[in-house]
């Protein structure tokens, strides 16, 4: 479903020297799996995630999603392809002056859906995340967990095959985290959406992910098949994370 071939991304240090936020990386994420990107702060997790939908353009390499080479597309084609890739953010990124249902409708308006198409799809997505009763509320009237559910409903609305989640539960307490992870799990199981999730918490990997990669200093150190009982133990950082867990 997602193939990264030799992708890398460099930024400048203050002294203008360049460093690799993501060193040349190959990664293959299968259709229907929940895949974790794990590592300490600054490891390059968010950058790697944002390379998947080309929010960051790679300096080298190719990004294929659903057999389409995003790196070869012009802007218009890329905008269309991105409708197949939902994104969920740590700080929710909701529009404050729009109600819950208007937030969920937003990507559909951008994609050119008609009002008749939008209404039932928004209702369906709010039902999936359990927020039907809050449709007319504004983000400021919601708890953190409810805000993230709106973020999930918004990402799901255009019926994407892939959802990218950047630390979606880092701003939430443990009980709310469990319920938001349950919501993502439900969406994966019911609709087969491939989910890539960035986290620095081993508990999120354990609860949610089928497989996970471990990154450090821009390098992919190892991949573990969590679903089949594998743990991150091939690298020093992996063993350190396990000890801390």
Ligand X SMILES: Nc1ncnc2c1ncn2[C@@H]1O[C@H](COP(=O)(O)OP(=O)(O)OP(=O)(O)O)[C@@H](O)[C@H]1O
- CB count within 10 Å of CB 12 equals 9
Is position 57 an interface residue for ligand X (rule: CB under 6 A)? no
Q: DSSP string of 18-82? A: EEEEEEEEEEEE-TT-EEEEE-STTSSHHHHHHHHTTSS--SEEEEEETTEEGGG--HHHHHHHH
Considering the complex, what minimum distance in angstroms separates the CB of residue 39 from ligand X? 5
Is position 114 an interface residue for ligand X (rule: CB under 6 A)? no
The binding track of 9-28 with respect to ligand X, each residue x by CB under 6 A or -, is --x---------x-------
Report the residue from 24, 44, 151, 158 that binds ligand X according to the rule CB under 6 A: 44
Binding segment for ligand X (CB under 6 A), chosen from 43-51, 126-134, 151-159, 230-238, is: 43-51
Is position 47 an interface residue for ligand X (rule: CB under 6 A)? yes
Q: DSSP string of 31-44? A: TT-EEEEE-STTSS
Is position 39 an interface residue for ligand X (rule: CB under 6 A)? yes
Residue ranges in 179-218 that form contacts with ligand X under rule CB under 6 A? 200
Considering the complex, what minimum distance in angstroms separates the CB of residue 180 from ligand X? 18
Binding segment for ligand X (CB under 6 A), chosen from 37-45, 65-73, 111-119, 143-151, is: 37-45
Q: Is residue 189 classed exposed, middle or buried when 0-12, 13-18 and 19+ CB atoms within 10 A define those classes? A: exposed
């Amino acid at each position: 479903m997602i193939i990264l071939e030799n992708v890398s991304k460099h930024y400048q240090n203050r002294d203008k020297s360049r460093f690799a936020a993501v060193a040349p990386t190959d990664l293959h994420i299968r259709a229907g799996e929940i895949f974790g990107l794990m590592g300490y702060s600054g490891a390059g997790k968010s950058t790697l995630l944002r390379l998947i939908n080309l929010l960051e353009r790679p300096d080298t390499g190719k990004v294929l999603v659903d057999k389409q080479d995003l790196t070869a597309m012009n802007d218009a084609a890329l905008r269309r392809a991105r409708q197949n890739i939902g994104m969920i953010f740590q700080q929710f990124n909701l529009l404050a002056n729009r109600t819950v249902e208007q937030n969920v409708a937003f990507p559909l308006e951008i994609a050119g859906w008609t009002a008749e198409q939008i209404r039932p799809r928004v209702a369906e997505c709010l039902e999936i995340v359990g927020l039907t009763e809050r449709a007319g509320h504004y983000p400021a009237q919601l708890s953190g967990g409810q805000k993230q559910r709106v973020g999930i409903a918004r990402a799901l609305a255009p019926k994407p095959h892939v959802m990218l989640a950047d630390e979606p539960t880092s701003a939430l307490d443990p009980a709310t985290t469990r319920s938001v992870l349950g919501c993502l799990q439900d969406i994966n199981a019911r609709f087969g959406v491939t989910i890539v999730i960035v986290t620095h918490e081993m508990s999120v990997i354990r609860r949610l992910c089928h497989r996970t990669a471990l990154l450090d200093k821009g390098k992919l150190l190892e991949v573990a098949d969590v679903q089949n009982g594998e743990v991150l133990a091939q690298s020093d950082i992996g063993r350190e994370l396990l000890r801390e867990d």
